[in-house]
Amino acid sequence: MLTKDKSQLVNLAATLRARIIETSSKTGTPHLGSCLSCVDILTALYFGVLRVDTGNPQDPERDRCILSKGHGAMGLFHVLAERGFYPLSDLDSYGQDGSVFAEHPPTPEHLAGIEAATGSLGHGLPLGLGMSMAGRIQSQDYNVYVVLGDGECNEGSVWEAAMLASAQKVNNLCVIIDFNKWQATGRSQEVMALDPLADKWRAFGWNAVEVDGHNFDDLLLALKKFPYPNGQPTAIIAHTIKGKGASFMEDDNNWHYRIPTAEEVVKSKIELGVAL
C-alpha cells in the first residue's frame, strides 16, 4: 500500500484521466466513458489500500484485484503503469496487433499485476470468490477486491457467486460496483432494473454500503472498514458518472464507443487541469 493524501490522489486521478483520453484518441479504441467512471475507484485501491509489490507481483500473500468489467482495461493499464508495474511508455503499443496490452481483455499470462482475464462480463466475481476461498484454505492473509459494472450485475453468475460467498462466510472478499447507471445500450434501470441495489446485496447476506465513487474520503473510508467482523463479504456500491472528468462526456453514453478527436483531447486536458 502507498500512502498519498487526498489532494495527491485527486491530482493523480486527473492525470490518469488525461492519459486515458489521449490513449483512446491515439489508438482509436472505445470504452472511454467506462474507463473514466472507475478511475477514482482504481486509484483509491492501488494507491490507498492494496498490498501489492511491483518487485514481486506474484507474492502469494498479495491482495488480489480483478477488474471484472474488463472493457475498462485501458484505465486499469494506466493505473498499473503509474503504480510501477511497467513503464508508461510500454502503453504506446496499447490495442495494437501483437501487444500484450490487449484492448479487451487483460490477460494475466502476459502482464504483471493482472489477476484474471476478464471481458466476458460476469466472471470476475466467481474467480475472485475462488481466490478468496483458496486464501482461507491455505491460511494466507490476503484480501480480494472485484470491480463490477452495474450492467454487469445483470449476469446470473454474479448472483450465484454472491450467494455462495455469504453461505461460505467469505469475509476477505470485497466487491466494488461502478454504479454509473449506464450499460452499452442504455440506462441500466431501463434495460434490467437493479434498484434497490444495496438491499439486494444485503438480501444475499453481504455487508453493503453506498458511497460517492468520485470522493476519495468516502471511498477510502469504506474500503478501510472492510473486512467486517461479522464474517460476511462486503459490497461497496460506488455511485459514479460515466465519462467523469470531461464535461462533454459526462453521463453521455455515446462515449461508450466514441473516440475523442485531437481537439477534444485538448479540451479535456484543459478541463482536467493537466498540462498540454
Ligand X SMILES: Cc1ncc(C[n+]2csc(CCOP(=O)(O)OP(=O)(O)O)c2C)c(N)n1
List residues binding ligand X (CB under 6 A). Answer: 34, 37, 69, 71, 119-122, 149-152, 178, 180, 182-184, 188, 242, 256
Nearest residue relative to ligand X (C-beta): 149
Of 100 and 184, nearer to ligand X (C-beta) is 184
At its nearest, how many Å lie between ligand X and the CB of residue 275?
28
SS percent in the chain: helix, strand, coil, step 5:
45, 10, 45
Find out whether 143 and 226 touch, Cβ atoms under 8 Å.
yes
Of 52 and 236, nearer to ligand X (C-beta) is 236
At its nearest, how many Å lie between ligand X and the CB of residue 92?
25
At its nearest, how many Å lie between ligand X and the CB of residue 61?
30
Of 62 and 239, nearer to ligand X (C-beta) is 239
At its nearest, how many Å lie between ligand X and the CB of residue 55?
32
Of 179 and 216, nearer to ligand X (C-beta) is 179
Interatomic CA distance for residues 226 and 24, integer angstroms: 34
Interatomic CA distance for residues 105 and 210, integer angstroms: 28
Of 62 and 71, nearer to ligand X (C-beta) is 71
At its nearest, how many Å lie between ligand X and the CB of residue 162?
15
CA nearest to 35, candidates 263, 223, 258, 230: 258
